[in-house]
A and B are shown apart, each in its own frame.
Chain A
Amino acid sequence: MEVRIEPCYPEIDAHESRVIEDLKSSSTQPIAEPSGWLDEEINRNILVTTVDKLLNWGRKTSLWTETSFTACCTFEFISTSSSRFDIARFGMEVLRSSPRHSDLIVTAGTLTWKMAPQIKRVYDQMAEPKWVIAMGACGISGGIFADSYSVVPGYNRILPVDVYIPGCPPRPEALLAGIEKLRKKIEQSSISNKS
């Protein structure tokens, strides 16, 4: 019997490849780490400082993670969130599948260009304030696939990454250390800064 394979929705396929090519050509340079404000002298008064303290404490204590994991580093994340390492101690065991509810993307895994527009869209749809942790060698620079035509060389091409965690894969302790770094970073942010 003759088998014919036709693309069901040729215009959608064409649109998809156009989006990917656009993204590829527009992200040749890494996006800078969004921490310029750290050195900036911000004019804080006593009220702003108090509100900042409260907000930052709340935000760093309940970081809800978006479940958008792409490859093998995920298993280290799962291991971190289960009994032995227990991410719940930091109030982070709430994994929300909807970007509207979540504060943090842990980019655990290799990202291909085919998947990149989706990840970027998920990030864009997250409610602010939001943070990104690049986990693993692939997340930082593409890792062992850095030379491949199909792999995004580092998440910072498409997202502003806050914390980088090296390793292939990073051990759960490393992930916890990275989360600790992010919490320190959140502590220093301020509402009077609109970056």
Chain B
Amino acid sequence: MLSEFGLTALFIVIVLGFSVSLVLIPVALRKPGIVPHNPSDIKSAPYECGLDTIGPTWVQFKIRYYFYALLLITLDVVIIFIYPWAVELHNLGASGFWPVVSFLAIVGTGYVYAWRKGALEWK
């Protein structure tokens, strides 16, 4: 099994090297003049449909987006519990079924509460 993980890790390294070289090709081709390169102030300004940008860009964002992140974390924990259970369910049989159902019922109560409170609404 360990060799399989070794293979995966080496493959990740190979792919990383490949994609870095992909991004660096134009830099190499700049020297012989194949890739044109003449930067200017206007060219490297942000593109906003031909207008100057007004105000800072990196600002605080709407809280709306973080609700979903919180819900994700909650449900990701559920998933961590469910996957090992799903793999072993055919050995566990009926005795392994009910505990997870009650667990899902508890999480489901929270889900219904969030729905009722309007946390799932996009406003």
**Do A and B interact directly, with beta carbons closer than 8 Å?**
yes
Pick from B33, B38, B50, B54: contact of A192, CB below 8 A.
Answer: B33
A192 to B36, CA, bound (A): 11
Pairwise interchain contact A125-B45, C-beta atoms closer than 8 A:
yes
A12 to B36, CA, bound (A): 35
> What separation, in Å, do the CA atoms of A129 and B54 have in the docked complex?
29
Q: Which chain A residue shows the least CB distance to B37?
A: A128
B50 and A121: CB pair below 8 A? yes
| Complex contact A51–B42 (CB within 8 A) | no
**Interchain CB contact under 8 A, A191 and B34:** yes
Q: Contact between B43 and A125 (Cβ–Cβ < 8 Å)?
A: yes
Q: Let me know if B33 and A191 touch, CB within 8 A.
A: yes
Shortest Cβ distance from A87 into chain B, in angstroms?
Answer: 23
Q: How far is the CA of A181 from the CA of B53 in the complex (A)?
A: 37
Q: Which of B42, B50, B54 has the most CB of A within 10 A?
A: B50
What number of A residues sit within 8 Å (CB to CB) of B?
19
| Residues in A neighbouring B45, C-beta threshold 8 A | 125
Q: CB-defined interface of B48-78 with A at 8 Å, one 1/0 digit per residue?
A: 0111001000000000000000000000000
Interface residues of A in 121-175 (CB under 8 A from B): 121-122, 124-125, 128-129
Q: Which of A68, A122, A124 contacts B40 (CB 8 A)?
A: A124
Interchain CA distance A86-B45 in the complex, whole Å? 35
Asked if B50 and A119 sit within 8 Å, CB to CB, the answer is: yes
Q: Are A99 and B47 in contact (CB under 8 A)?
A: yes
Chain A positions within 8 Å of B, measured between CB atoms, are 12, 51, 55, 68, 98-100, 117-119, 121-122, 124-125, 128-129, 191-192, 194
Where the two chains meet, the residues of B that have a C-beta atom closer than 8 Å to any C-beta of A are: 32-34, 36, 38, 40, 42-43, 45, 47, 49-51, 54
